[in-house]
Amino acid sequence: METTTCFYVAVCVLVACLSNVQAAGWDYLNDSGKGPDTWEASYDTCGGSKQSPINIETAMVEEKDLGDFTFVGFGEDDKPVNATMTVSNNGHSVVVGVDGDYHVSGAGLGTTAYKAVQFHFHWGSVNSQGSEHTIDGKAYPGELHIVCYNTSYPNFFSALFNEDGLTVLGFFLEIQTVDNPALTQLFDVISSIQFDEEEEDLSMPVVFNNFLPSDLSSYYRYSGSLTTPPCYEIVTWNVFTEPIMVSEAQLNALRRQYANKHNAADNITLTDTYRPVQPVNNRTVYMTDPNAVTDHMTTLSPNQDNINTENVNTPTPSYVNTPTPSSAPCQFASTSLVALVISKVLASVLDD
């Protein structure tokens, strides 16, 4: 009986927590009362000191050889058998759910591989804005994020509660005059969906290497957060310097998406889907670029030789303060049960 009572109490508490999360809501609009300026009020973790995105000031970047990435499943030759990809509008972004063995490792990410679970887009209403990260104040028309979780954890959702839980591969989108042929099928499918909760499978999963930049050896690295609520500070960021090229017609397939469901009374255009840049605070942004190492080595000071990369490569295990969007009563429900319910919430709100 006591167990039963505890269970019901836990369920009630969790339902209350769930209601808080869902009632808060968020979007990218300035006049909705749920825009980026309000996220911190609804989600405490959005007010943290290691938030993303950031403006990368190239003059402040510390150069360091983090090593090469190892990508498994990204190429035509090693693409996983039986992989599937599903394109969906989730009311915040266009997300491509990935089900297959796509892994990334190396590059100072530690000893375990990270597995890709989805990729998604951020974009602007005009070409002068749209990316989340900026370089010396310059924004690109869009940004693509490949979200990967640390396979030292059992699954994506358990990884969300650890500081080294995710790594995101971030690529700017830049405009060229012609379509990117490697993305034709994907953008055709994106064009066929428009409203929240609409989705469609890709008949053929995209091959990442066919549309990612050819040079993946030059990138910025820093410790940051999800760029959407609940903004957990669990992301090792990789912002690649070489952009993905798309045509404006392809970008327009994103600009034609809506935040509302089909047949809503009013259509709300889903555009300018980027969070403004956040304070860097005392974080170091590293850059690895093998083409620049030779020049850099001649100017390294002794102190720079001793750059401590522990913060980047070896996450602090003390980050077990479960970052639930909790109020006090939520604390006494079991952590695993909370994690389970929160995972359901995150599944509906999480874009990266």
Structure tokens at 137: 């104040």
Shortest spacing between CB 290 and Zn ion, in angstroms: 27
Restricting to residues 188-217, name those near Zn ion by CB under 5 A. none
Tell me which stretch binds Zn ion (CB under 5 A): 14-22, 139-147, 209-217, 300-308.
139-147
Q: Which is nearer to Zn ion, 164 or 352 (CB)?
A: 352
**Four-point Cα dihedral 287, 127, 88, 99, nearest 10:** -30
**141 Cβ neighbours under 8 A, 6+ residues apart:** 123, 124, 126, 127, 128, 129, 130, 131, 173, 174, 175, 251
190: enclosing H helix or E strand: helix 184-192
Return the exposure string of 259-268: e unless at least 16 CB atoms fall within 10 Å of the residue's CB, then b.
Answer: bbeeeeeeee
Q: Are strands 134-135 and 55-56 parallel, antiparallel or unpaired?
A: parallel
Whose Cβ is closer to Zn ion: residue 27's or residue 352's?
Answer: 352
Please say which residue, 74 or 119, places its beta carbon nearer to Zn ion: 119
Q: CB of 237 within 8 A of CB of 224?
A: yes
Per-residue tokens: 269: 């255009």
> Which is catalytic among the residues 92, 103, 122, 133?
92
Interface region with Zn ion, contact rule CB under 5 A, candidates 21-29, 36-44, 138-146, 308-316: 138-146
Positive or negative, the CA dihedral 99, 190, 172, 277 is negative
Nearer to Zn ion among residue 63 and residue 220 (C-beta): 220
Segment near Zn ion (CB under 5 A), from 57-65, 137-145, 232-240, 326-334? 137-145
How many residues belong to the site for Zn ion (CB under 5 A)? 2
Q: Closest separation between CB of residue 135 and Zn ion, Å?
A: 17
Nearest to Zn ion of 163, 352 (CB atom): 352
Among 79, 145, 255, 275, indicate the residue that binds Zn ion (CB under 5 A): 145
Nearest position to Zn ion, beta carbon:
352
Q: How far is the CB of 148 from Zn ion (least distance, A)?
A: 12
Residue placing its CB nearer to Zn ion in the complex, 289 or 352: 352
Question: Strands, E, within the chain: which ranges?
Answer: 55-56, 62-63, 69-72, 84-89, 94-99, 103-106, 114-123, 134-135, 142-150, 166-176, 199-201, 219-224, 235-240, 244-247, 286-288
The span of 142-150, 151-159, 238-246, 260-268 binding Zn ion (CB under 5 A) equals 142-150
Pairing mode of beta strands 166-176, 235-240: parallel
Q: Which residue has the tokens 């979200």?
A: 147
CB of 63 to Zn ion, least distance (A): 26
Q: Is 352 in the site for Zn ion (CB under 5 A)?
A: yes
Pick the piece of the chain touching Zn ion (CB under 5 A) from 16-24, 34-42, 44-52, 140-148: 140-148
Q: How far is the CB of 307 from Zn ion (least distance, A)?
A: 28
Task: Find the shortest distance in angstroms from Cβ 145 to Zn ion.
Answer: 4
CB of 273 to Zn ion, least distance (A): 9
**120 belongs to the catalytic site:** no
Residue 133 engages Zn ion in binding (rule: CB under 5 A): no
Interstrand relation of 244-247 and 166-176 (parallel, antiparallel or unpaired): parallel
63 φ, ψ to 5°?
Answer: -80, 135
63 binds Zn ion (CB under 5 A): no
Alpha carbon distances (Å) from 40 to 45, 97, 148, 277: 7, 27, 25, 14
- Which active-site residues does the annotation give? 92
Residues that bind Zn ion (CB under 5 A): 145, 352
